[in-house]
Amino acid sequence: DAGVIQSPRHEVTEMGQEVTLRCKPISGHDYLFWYRQTMMRGLELLIYFNNNVPIDDSGMPEDRFSAKMPNASFSTLKIQPSEPRDSAVYFCASSLPSGSQYFGPGTRLTVL
């Protein structure tokens, strides 16, 4: 079975532009997580979903960030407008209930 799939793998954009990151969780996994990883702050949970419903978005840094999960096999994380401080690696992970989280390869975002 394929693991968590993320796209794009790399994104370079200019400040003020809209950025959309995509994630396909492992089939059958009920939980989906979005993380951000930086050297300064490490790995931080932004938001997670259960059965496509957002459960906890307390880690979302600002209103510029939004996440959706329209169906069980797809989620997006959108940043609008993007800022240089948003530059980071964004990971998506999925899991079964009470299961271990499996991470995708990440999207490396650079905002100029």
Partner 1 sequence: QKEVEQDPGPLSVPEGAIVSLNCTYSNSAFQYFMWYRQYSRKGPELLMYTYSSGNKEDGRFTAQVDKSSKYISLFIRDSQPSDSATYLCAMTETNDYKLSFGAGTTVTVRA
Residues between 24 and 53 that touch partner 1 (CB under 8 A)? 31, 33, 42-43, 45, 48, 50
To partner 1, the closest distance from the beta carbon of 103 in angstroms equals 4
Say how far apart CA 29 and CA 83 lie, in whole Å: 32
Instruction: Determine how β-strand 53-56 pairs with β-strand 65-71.
Output: unpaired
* Total number of residues that touch partner 1 (CB under 8 A): 21
Say how far apart CA 40 and CA 67 lie, in whole Å: 23
Amino acid at 76: T
Select from 60, 106, 109, 111 the one that contacts partner 1 (CB under 8 A).
Answer: 106
SS3 21: strand
Positions touching partner 1 (CB under 8 A) are 4, 31, 33, 42-43, 45, 48, 50, 55-56, 91, 93, 95, 100-106, 108
